[in-house]
Amino acid sequence: MTTTPPEGEATPISGTTPNVSPASSTPSFDADERELLARLIREINREGGWRNAWRLLARADQRWPGFVPWHTDEPEDGGRDWSTWLILGGRGAGKTRAGAEWIRWVAGRRGADPVRVALVAEAYADAREVMIEGPSGVRSLGAADARPSYEPSRRRLIWPNGSIGYCFSAEDPDGLRGHQFDVAWADELCKWRYPEETWSNLQLALRLGERPRQTVTTTPRPMKLLKRIMASGGTVVSRATTHDNAANLAPAFLSEIAAAYEGTALGRQELLGEIVDDVAGALWTWDMIEAARIAATPGLAARMDRVVVAVDPPATAGPKADECGIVVAGVRSDDPAASREAVVLADWSAGGLSPRGWAERAVAALHEFDADRIVVEVNQGGDMAQAVIAQVDPAAPVRAVRATRGKRLRAEPVAALYEQARVRHAGAFPRLEDQMTSFVGDASSPGGRSPDRLDALVWALTDLMLAPSSAPTVRGL
């Protein structure tokens, strides 16, 4: 008869089932079995409990190169020469836990030499809320007396053994200058605002110790930087899907994402962790977007002839409402005889906003970029959209636009501008670019959401490059 252990207890280990005497229900162990059991108990106790016994729990795709299983005494690294451990995975696949466990192993395990660690996230808030304080972050793992303390004011982690970690944001690539590290963890690299600049500065900072190393945890996108990392001889790639981690995910989450994404190109990316180069029928390709990319240099907006903030308001409000698309773009012509060129400057889109909330955000973008006006679609709210902006800032210049054609028909002339190399992206806009490369028609984008970021982009570039009133002007200083 097979019994199921209570929740939280270990299941029997394959190959170590004890012998049971017919005369007694008490199991008897031979010497090898007793040693294996004792080692298992020591491992669990040493790590501060079953949840932290990563050398028992880690799946194959969550094990770094040279991973030491709990039941062996092999040396770390197994003599393998590598510099980057790249974990490509779908949402909820366990990437964060794997990255945090590697950092715990190299920086915080008992007996480890002190090292300097760089933790690089999409933004500082992500570093703290995901990589450090999150349910799978470094401060949630290991025995309590071996966990690092966190100093928010200095964005610094300090482990009991003397290791020190510093947090960085991909929104501030220059923040890495002047630092030096032994190891690094780069999280969600494909969502970074300035991926090339941040990655370059991180590589220059990895210069301590005999063998500087890093792990990269990300849901993939077909970006040039990611492909270069994968092609490097020092990179070891692990892959994981959302379904691989199903035992640790809510059933409702799994059923909802399956209904929304499975069978789609975006599902292959977001659930299976695959690099999906292009979607059949999409107006934009990744090559078009990569060809449009330029550096986001300081003062770029001020060098524009005209700047607009385009807003595509959601039809409803609340946590489950569609996002409000807010895109900032400008137009410039360095040579009066040359064709004008548009530059996408920022994506300030956000979800879960009330009408006043998105109006405040749009007005903030207007002032932040010294824009000439707000362009707002009024199909959903009519005069309400203009009225709510006026409540926030009565002096804000607003142009109302109304869609009279389908989304694809409106987007096609804008896509043609990209084909003509007349649009640039100042840095990366991962969520916007995902919508651009997955949109194929008038239906909602994969996941059941309207492509609001894309809609805002179309309104901005139409106003700047295609509308009758888009003739170049001279901006006042």
pTM, full prediction? 0.77
Q: Do residues 304 and 409 both lie within one domain?
A: yes
Q: Do residues 223 and 301 both lie within one domain?
A: no
Q: Do residues 188 and 213 both lie within one domain?
A: yes
Higher per-residue pLDDT: 243 or 34: 243
Average pLDDT of the residues in 295-321: 87
> Could you tell me the pLDDT band of residue 15, with boundaries at 50, 70 and 90?
very low
Q: Do residues 239 and 310 both lie within one domain?
A: no
Q: Does residue 186 sit within a domain?
A: yes
pLDDT the model gives residue 103: 96
Rg of the chain in Å (alpha carbons): 26
Q: Tokens 């020591």, residue?
A: 42
Average pLDDT of the residues in 401-411: 87
Q: Do residues 297 and 196 both lie within one domain?
A: no
Q: Does residue 279 sit within a domain?
A: no
Cβ-proximal residues to 104 (8 Å cutoff; 6+ apart), any chain: 54, 138, 141, 142
CA distance readout (Å), 172 to 167, 185, 363, 430: 11, 16, 24, 16
Angle, helices 452-461 vs 430-438, to 10°: value is 90
Among 244, 270, 296, residue at a domain's last position? 270
CATH for 230: 3.40.50.300
Q: Does residue 46 sit within a domain?
A: no
SS3 359: helix
pLDDT the model gives residue 10: 38
Average pLDDT of the residues in 50-78: 74
pLDDT the model gives residue 474: 47
SS3 103: helix
Q: Does residue 39 sit within a domain?
A: no
Chain CA centroid to CA 308, Å: 27
Q: Do residues 460 and 346 both lie within one domain?
A: yes
Q: Which pLDDT tens digit goes with each residue over 245-283?
A: 998 899 998 888 888 777 777 788 888 898 888 888 899
Q: List the domain range (segments joined by +) for residue 424.
A: 286-466
Average pLDDT of the residues in 35-52: 69
Q: Which pLDDT tens digit goes with each residue over 101-112?
A: 999 999 987 677
Among 245, 270, 295, residue at a domain's last position? 270
Q: Which pLDDT tens digit goes with each residue over 455-472?
A: 999 999 999 999 775 554
Q: Does residue 296 sit within a domain?
A: yes
Q: Do residues 444 and 383 both lie within one domain?
A: yes
Q: Do residues 235 and 300 both lie within one domain?
A: no
pLDDT the model gives residue 1: 42
Q: Does residue 15 sit within a domain?
A: no
Q: Does residue 17 sit within a domain?
A: no
Whether the Cβ atoms of residue 92 and residue 83 lie closer than 8 Å to each other: no
> Could you tell me the pLDDT band of residue 231, with boundaries at 50, 70 and 90?
very high
CATH for 347: 3.30.420.280
Q: Which pLDDT tens digit goes with each residue over 140-174?
A: 998 888 899 999 999 999 999 999 999 999 999 99
Q: Do residues 251 and 395 both lie within one domain?
A: no
pLDDT the model gives residue 171: 94
pLDDT the model gives residue 7: 38
Q: Which of 53-67, 197-211, 213-227 has the lowest mean pLDDT?
A: 53-67
Q: Does residue 376 sit within a domain?
A: yes
Q: Do residues 93 and 201 both lie within one domain?
A: yes
Whether the Cβ atoms of residue 289 and residue 429 lie closer than 8 Å to each other: no
Q: Tokens 């009565």, residue?
A: 394
Q: How many structural domains compose the chain?
A: 2
pLDDT the model gives residue 304: 96
Higher per-residue pLDDT: 154 or 12: 154
Among 246, 270, 294, residue at a domain's last position? 270
Cβ-proximal residues to 471 (8 Å cutoff; 6+ apart), any chain: none
Mean pLDDT of the chain: 85
Q: Which pLDDT tens digit goes with each residue over 328-379?
A: 999 987 655 557 899 999 999 999 899 999 999 999 999 999 999 999 998 7
Q: Do residues 421 and 338 both lie within one domain?
A: yes
pLDDT the model gives residue 417: 96
Q: Do residues 259 and 162 both lie within one domain?
A: yes
Tokens of 257: 């994402």
pLDDT the model gives residue 18: 44
